Structure 1
């Protein structure tokens, strides 16, 4: 039996999906880690990008700083965090490393989206007497939403792929299937784990694409 056939046999075995350490449990852990990190990344990056994009100042510096962080491998950040007092607090080293990894695409896309709003529309809104906060909330942010959602989609897919690193420090997620396969010298299990991560990432990509294409008007960049 070749490796691909053996990996398929592993994936189609009910014994590997249920119970402690089964695929469903690892998938739930992976989803939880992805959602938490994405939420924290959005809470950090999007307000900064929206405000800087509205003001038109400081955005280039913020983007360059965040992109410089991408030059440092996430695994290296994770190892450094393990050597600090944070390393003893469960999933927090992984969460912090993943959040730092997800911030750049969120910040960049949101800022570019804000700066790409038609200046004529902005001037018209100001001429109608809108305040700065009203302009941001009612005009600029809705028009920038397609690019903002693109950044969220990119960050989400990257997080699904990179969250496998949690397994290297004893965390949960689909990465545990891969590391267990390495420990057992079980190549089909390694391949099966990699396929699960790839399929999960593709599903996340498909969900965001569907929201942007078929979702409510606000998710497609409408102002109302």
Structure 2
């Protein structure tokens, strides 16, 4: 426990508020990279995912490209892009790597949300005279939103953990303290900065989990609750029957 006590002492030391990179500034840089990369990836992946889910075309290509993007080593990609684009554009190089990391999860969440919709609901919408755009915005988008938020949640967690490598090319963030701690052989600093990344990831995960519950349409939530109640009642009846 002394190790964790030393790590917390490092985090809350007054020295973290001064120096070349104060801890609050490093946290801000870390979150800026995270939200920036996820936002850019969302702008690219959500319309593409909705198009795939709405038309049912191109899913195999999207899956193949997503798998290839997931296989790319983030650190190697950042270093390669810095070498290609030049040190002057190292921020852009890092953002490209983080965006590529975030796209697969968001893309999968976007088209999977549409694919999970009961087709009878869409057919009913068309039967009452809805146009393709009305089906998209009034049925598919609202019903597919929970899985899309799940994709954004997964992408955010992946990026917030990976942004630590931005410090490897001198871009700051929490990774700066991890790399500096390795060089100084300061285990409290390494553990303390790692704990900050963990706390950020847990906080963001909790926010997205709450948002994912809030975006579930009330009718769907009520239906799921009724189904859960019916299943619970059936299990209780089975238990009573077995007991008798």
- The TM-score normalised by the length of structure 2 is 0.85
User: Equivalents in 2 of 1:141, 1:222: separation in Å?
Assistant: 15
Provide structure 1 residue ranges, at least 5 long, that are not aligned to the other structure.
Answer: none
User: Equivalents in 2 of 1:179, 1:69: separation in Å?
Assistant: 26
Measured after TM superposition, the shift of residue 87 of structure 1 is: 4.7
1:135-155 residue CA offsets vs partner (Å, 9 max, x unmatched):
111111110111000000111
Match of 1:179 in 2: 179
Measured after TM superposition, the shift of residue 221 of structure 1 is: 4.0
Measured after TM superposition, the shift of residue 5 of structure 1 is: 2.5
- The TM-score normalised by the length of structure 1 is 0.92
User: Equivalents in 2 of 1:182, 1:158: separation in Å?
Assistant: 23
Match of 2:114 in 1: 114
* Higher deviation after alignment, 195-204 or 173-182: 173-182
Match of 2:27 in 1: 27
Match of 1:132 in 2: 132
User: Equivalents in 1 of 2:46, 2:207: separation in Å?
Assistant: 21
Paired residues for 1:152-191 under 5 Å = 152-191=152-191
User: Equivalents in 1 of 2:69, 2:44: separation in Å?
Assistant: 15
Measured after TM superposition, the shift of residue 124 of structure 1 is: 0.9
Match of 1:43 in 2: 43
Residues 1:108 and 1:16: Cα distance change in structure 2 (over 3 Å): same
1:159-207 residue CA offsets vs partner (Å, 9 max, x unmatched):
1101101000000211111111112221110111100001110000011
Contact map agreement 2:74 2:98 (CA 8 A) in 1: yes
Match of 2:216 in 1: 220
Measured after TM superposition, the shift of residue 29 of structure 1 is: 0.5
Match of 1:198 in 2: 198
Q: Secondary structure at the match of 1:89?
A: helix
Measured after TM superposition, the shift of residue 128 of structure 1 is: 1.7
* Higher deviation after alignment, 31-40 or 69-78: 69-78
What is the number of residues matched between the two proteins?
Answer: 219
Higher helix share: 2
Measured after TM superposition, the shift of residue 3 of structure 1 is: 2.8
CA RMSD of aligned residues (A): 1.7
Q: Secondary structure at the match of 2:130?
A: coil
Provide structure 2 residue ranges, at least 5 long, that are not aligned to the other structure.
Answer: 220-244
User: Equivalents in 1 of 2:41, 2:217: separation in Å?
Assistant: 21
Match of 2:228 in 1: none
Measured after TM superposition, the shift of residue 209 of structure 1 is: 1.3
User: Equivalents in 2 of 1:222, 1:79: separation in Å?
Assistant: 47
Q: Which has the larger radius of gyration?
A: 2
Q: Secondary structure at the match of 2:78?
A: helix
Moved over 3 A (4+): 17-20
Contact map agreement 1:18 1:25 (CA 8 A) in 2: no
Contact map agreement 2:113 2:148 (CA 8 A) in 1: yes
